[in-house]
A and B are shown apart, each in its own frame.
Chain A
Amino acid sequence: MDILYLLIPLSLVLVFAIGAVFWWAVNHKQFDDLEDQGKSIVDDVDG
């Protein structure tokens, strides 16, 4: 089971990476408004 010596540290790295990406997403307002960007396609905007 030597492969565990690679996999377990790798899983740790992954955990921290996921946490970091989530932190970035929240801080850059990715989750703030999930609907409006999609709706803006059908809006009546001149030009």
Chain B
Amino acid sequence: MRDAHGAIPDISEIGQQQQLVTEKLNLSGMRCAACVQLIEFRIRQLPGVVTFQILPASHRAEISWDAELLTLKRILAAITDLGYGALPTSQSPDELEQKENKRALWRIFVAGFAMMQVMMYAFPAYMVPVPQLDGDLTPDVDKLLKLASMIIAVPVIGFSAMPFFSSAWRDLKNHHIGMDVPVSLGILLTFFASVWATFHGGAVYFDSAIMFVFLLLGARLIESRVQKRTTAALRILTQLSPAMAQRFLSYPQQAVETVDVVSLQTNDYLLVAAGEHIPADGVVINGESSCDEALMTGESLPVSKSIGSHVLAGSVNIHGSLVMQAKEVGGATQLSALIGMMESASLEKPPLVLLADKHASRFLIIILILAFFSGLVWWQIDADRALWIAISIIVVTCPCALSLATPGVMSAAIGILAKNGVLLAKSKAIQAMASATHIVFDKTGTLTMGKLQVREMLLASENSISTAIAMALACQSTHPVSKAIGDYLAQRKSHQDLPGLSKIREVPGGGIEAEFDGEVYRLGSLEFAWELHAHEISIPAGFAEQTLTVLANERGNLLWFALDDILRDDAIEAIRNLKNKGKTILLLSGDRLEVVNKIAAKCDIQEAHSGLSPAGKYEIVRKLQANGATVVMVGDGMNDGPVLALADVSVAMGQGAPISQSRSDVLLMSNRLLDLDFGMTVATKAYWLIRENLAWAVLYNVLAIPAALAGWLEPWHAALGMSLSSLIVVVNALRLYLLKQVVYLMPD
């Protein structure tokens, strides 16, 4: 390798005066060959770098440097200064997995190579019984070939098949018959019986044993690759956060320092250059750019950001410099919450899989007993074949469809959904989504954008402090209505001192209440205000069809706010699709009749209920379930807590409550209802594939086991059958990827 000046270093000099350190790095952000050249060129120029080589295919680099002239921190900083990400490999969760992967590939290679060779040795014995060929195999040569086969089989048994043996041993120690027990038994019996036959005469089946190991390893590899596609998304997420960040020493002065991302704190002012990953959740203070949030929200097009926009840790700042203030750092960012959620979902096993595992165990015990007794029976009939028939029975049965296929389908489903912005927090949701009959939508923030804007404000009575009180109350809540009112009032009367309020409390589904100057004030829905003053209400002209919020005290309504509520652009299409799937759609809202009916008419929803309290919504869902319905509830995750818990599947919009507080089963990260529709399609197909796999498993075993009992199967038939059956079931799971994925254009 060339050194910093392009010359090949003199070996004798290295190691004598220098403290040579070598490290492997994971690089990110390299989009082309020119990036690779740039980084290599610049880093090799650093004083102290001895060798630096990038492996573009794996996004890794190897660097060795003189520890007295340079530190790892400086090297990483140099790379990030260029606009790329760099992390030491040892810190990445990849490392151990890479080693495991390599071993697995080696095992398959050894098994495959040995399989080909052993076929060559076994071939003459196959040919001898054929009458057309004038073949002759003397006992000496026969033994020679068998010996050669045995020697080839040893590395396969000793190395390639080891995972099966250690897994079976682990199962047996836990008093549990797992899938690998009959597999290991089959392999070992075949091997040792063949060894005996090598020296004492008889048929040998080394080829069957090796082929069995090879095919099974192949099936397992494909299955783990499918699983990896899910966790690959997870791993990419963990590498999104940069290692370093630029922090302003005292904003608005321009001086910045480079700091470790772990030392960032809330309210730090940060500078994010073009091409960098954003280091924390926060708000843009200055600058204009667009950010790529694809991996977090599934939004495939960049989102434009300007002053006041929220930015997410881990997203990429594309073209302009941004100055931002950090609001959430480290473990509190949305990125961290997302990672945590995906990790726990992937560890969880849905009920169907657990059930399958339990049955598989019982099934295997029965098979082993069956094999033993049929071996005894055949011993009476034809002693030579008894052992081979027993082995065939053990080997041919496959609980693989139960233990292999279901996880395969589940992983594929979770992965595809995640790519389309649907985050499955609980994998059992797939089952419920597939069998859903009713879908219940909330209105504000779900069917509508939730970006409420105050269209008009009316003072019901002359009261100079009413707007100030309204603003003070609005600032106490993060509800979209409060935010809209707060923004509106801030624009009209800025810099006014907000009165101090006491006894502040927020009532879900109602509003906010507080006391000022001895009087109780409420900011919220008409009903909420009415509870306070119980006066006759006449809605001002022109306000009837709007979403209304009032500020009231005990004497009556003081301020009226009319709020605009925009329907999501894909709501109509999504609901149409869902109805075409045969689902019954409901709209439940706490808002007023006119507003709710207007939205229901636009979306073509037949059943809509207005003026509901959370208890009212709960009651409706409960009645549906009492009639046998499976209910999917789509809401904003926070205000409808009890109803969401009651529903069979709860779906929360991603823009709603902070992820960490959401208790729902599914998070619609992309906020697009069409993605929910796609999610239902995926869940239905996934469930169908699982049922197909189970049906195939039953059919296969029903045919194969009697065949083995009757002595119709040679060990190699059994090996082939079992392996192919596993493979079929795993490949069937891949059919899920054939589903057309939703591609949409962002509205201007």
| A15 with B152: CB separation less than 8 A | yes
Given A19-B110, A33-B57, A36-B56, A12 and B148 contact (CB-CB distance below 8 Å): yes
Residue A11 is within 8 A (CB to CB) of chain B in the complex? yes
Which chain A residue lies CB-closest to B121? A8
- Do residues A15 and B141 form an inter-chain contact, with CB atoms below 8 A? no
CB within 8 Å of B: which A6-22 residues: 8-9, 11-12, 15, 18-19, 22
Cβ of B6 and Cβ of A47 under 8 Å apart? yes
The contact string, 1 if C-beta is below 8 Å from chain A, for chain B 89-113, is 0000000000000000010011001
Considering only residues 53-98 of chain B, those with a C-beta below 8 Å from chain A are 55-58
A9 to B5, CA, bound (A): 52
Q: How far is the CB of B159 from chain A (nearest CB, A)?
A: 11
> For the complex, what is the distance from the CA of A17 to the CA of B598, rounded to whole Å?
79
Would A47 and B7 count as touching, CB distance under 8 A? Answer: yes
- Closest Cβ of chain A to B713, distance in Å, is 30
**Given A33-B55, A33-B57, A9-B6 contact (CB < 8 Å):** no
Judged by a CB distance under 8 angstroms, whether B151 is at the interface is: yes
Query: Using Cβ atoms and an 8 Å threshold, which residues of chain B touch A41?
Result: none
Cα distance A32–B61 in the bound complex, in angstroms: 12
Once A1-B141, A19-B110, A32-B55 are accepted as A-B contacts, the answer to whether A45 and B148 lie under 8 Å apart by CB is no
Cβ-based interface call for B37 (8 A): yes
Name the distance in Å between A18's Cβ and chain B's nearest Cβ: 8
B477: interface (CB < 8 Å): no
Specify the chain B residue showing the minimal Cβ separation from A27: B102
- Is the CB of B117 closer than 8 A to any CB of chain A? yes
Judge whether B144 is part of the interface by a CB distance below 8 angstroms: yes
CA distance A17 to B148 in the complex (A): 15
Q: Are B37 and A43 in contact, with the CB atoms below 8 A?
A: yes
Establish whether residues B5 and A8, one from each chain, have CB atoms under 8 Å apart when the complex forms. Answer: no
Report the separation of the CA atoms of residues A11 and B119 in the bound assembly, to the nearest whole angstrom. 13
| A19 pairs with B113, CB closer than 8 A | yes
CA distance A1 to B135 in the complex (A): 13
With A19-B110, A33-B55, A46-B6 already in contact, the answer to whether A12 and B152 are too (CB < 8 A) is yes
A2 to chain B, nearest CB (A): 10
Whether B144 lies near A4 (C-beta < 8 A) is yes
A47 with B5: CB separation less than 8 A: yes
Which one of B7, B55, B58, B148 lies within 8 Å of A9 (CB-CB)?
A: B148
- Whether the Cβ atoms of B145 and A8 lie closer than 8 Å is yes
CB contacts (< 8 Å) of A18 on chain B: these are 113
- A18 vs B113: C-alpha distance when bound (angstroms): 10
Residues of B within 8 A of A47 (CB): 5-7
Q: Residue A11 contacts which of B5, B114, B148 (CB distance < 8 angstroms)?
A: B148
**In chain A, what residue has the closest Cβ to B140?**
A5
Complex Cα–Cα for A1 and B152 (A): 22
Interfacial chain A residues near B138, Cβ < 8 Å: 1
Interchain CB contact under 8 A, A15 and B37: no
Q: Could you tell me the distance between the alpha carbons of A15 and B145 in the complex, rounded to whole angstroms?
A: 15
- The residues of A that contact B56 with a CB separation of less than 8 Å are 33, 36
Considering the complex, give the chain B residue whose CB is closest to the CB of A45.
B6
What mask results when residues 507 to 519 of chain B are scored 1 for a CB within 8 Å of chain A, else 0? 0000000000000
A12 touches B151 (CB 8 A): yes
Query: Which chain A residue has the least Cβ–Cβ distance from B138?
Result: A1
Q: Give the complex CA separation of A3 and B196 in angstroms.
A: 26
Indicate with 1 or 0, residue by residue over B153-189, a CB within 8 angstroms of chain A CB atoms.
0010000000000000000000000000000000000
Give every chain A residue within 8 A of B109 (Cβ-Cβ).
22
In this complex, which of A5, A22, A32, A36 has the most chain B Cβ atoms within 10 angstroms of its Cβ? A36
- Bound CA–CA A17/B120 (angstroms): 17
Instruction: Tell whether, in the assembled complex, residue A4 and residue B55 are in contact, meaning their CB atoms are under 8 Å apart.
Output: no
Chain B: which residue is nearest A22 at the CB level?
Answer: B109
Q: How far is the CA of A32 from the CA of B145 in the complex (A)?
A: 37
Residues in B whose Cβ lies below 8 Å from that of A19: 110, 113, 155
Closest to B55 in A: A33
Residues of A within 8 A of B106 (CB): 23
A44–B34 CA distance with the chains assembled, in angstroms: 11
Contact in complex: A4, B152 (CB < 8 Å): no
User: Which residues on the A side are within 8 Å of B2 (C-beta)?
Assistant: 45
Q: Which A residue sits closest to B141, measured CB to CB?
A: A4
A47 to chain B, nearest CB (A): 5
CB-defined interface of B1-14 with A at 8 Å, one 1/0 digit per residue?
Answer: 01001110000000
Provide the residues of chain B in CB contact with A22, threshold 8 Å: 109
The residues of A that contact B58 with a CB separation of less than 8 Å are: 32
A8 B57 Cβ-Cβ under 8 A: no
How distant is the Cα of A33 from the Cα of B138 in the complex, in angstroms?
50
- Residue from A5, A15, A18, A47 having most chain B Cβ neighbours under 10 A: A15
- Which of B6, B7, B57, B117 interacts with A15 by CB under 8 Å? B117
Write the chain B residue with the least CB distance to A34. Answer: B57
**Which A residue sits closest to B58, measured CB to CB?**
A32
- Known contacts A1-B141, A33-B57, A36-B56; decide if A8 and B148 are in contact (CB<8 Å): yes
Cα–Cα, bound, A5→B261 (Å): 68
Hey, which chain B residues are within 8 Å of A1, CB to CB? 138, 141
Within the complex, what minimum Cβ distance (angstroms) separates A22 from chain B? 8
Does the CB pair B144–A5 fall under 8 Å? yes
Q: How far is the CB of B179 from chain A (nearest CB, A)?
A: 29
State which residues 24-47 of A face B: CB under 8 Å. Answer: 32-33, 36, 39, 43-47
What is the minimal beta-carbon distance from A43 to any residue of chain B, in angstroms?
A: 7
With a cutoff of 8 Å between Cβ atoms, the chain A residues found around residue B120 in the complex are 11
* Bound CA–CA A15/B47 (angstroms): 48
Interface centre among B110, B121, B144 (most CB of A within 10 A): B144
Least distance between A16 CB and chain B CB atoms (Å): 9
CB distance from B69 to the nearest CB of A (A): 21
Residue of B nearest to A1 (CB): B141
Of all chain B residues, which has the CB nearest A18?
A: B113
How far is it, in angstroms, between the C-alpha of A44 and the C-alpha of B6 when the chains are bound?
A: 11
Contacts known (A46-B6, A47-B5); A8 close to B37, Cβ less than 8 A: no
Chain B residues with CB under 8 Å of A32's CB are 55, 57-58
- B33: chain A residues within 8 A (beta carbon): 39
Bound Cα distance A12, B146 (Å): 12
A8's contact among B7, B114, B144, B155, by CB below 8 Å, is which? Answer: B144
B113 pairs with A15, CB closer than 8 A: yes
Residues in A neighbouring B6, C-beta threshold 8 A: 45-47
Can you list the 5 inter-chain pairs with the closest CB atoms, starting with the nearest?
A47-B6, A8-B148, A15-B117, A33-B55, A8-B144
27 A-B contact pairs sorted by A residue (CB < 8 Å): A1-B138, A1-B141, A4-B141, A8-B144, A8-B145, A12-B148, A12-B152, A15-B113, A15-B152, A18-B113, A19-B113, A19-B155, A22-B109, A23-B106, A32-B55, A32-B57, A32-B58, A33-B55, A33-B57, A36-B56, A43-B37, A44-B37, A45-B2, A45-B6, A47-B5, A47-B6, A47-B7
Other contacts beyond A1-B138, A32-B58, A33-B57: 16, CB < 8 A: A4-B144, A8-B148, A11-B117, A11-B120, A12-B148, A12-B151, A12-B152, A15-B113, A15-B114, A18-B113, A19-B113, A19-B155, A32-B57, A33-B55, A33-B56, A47-B6
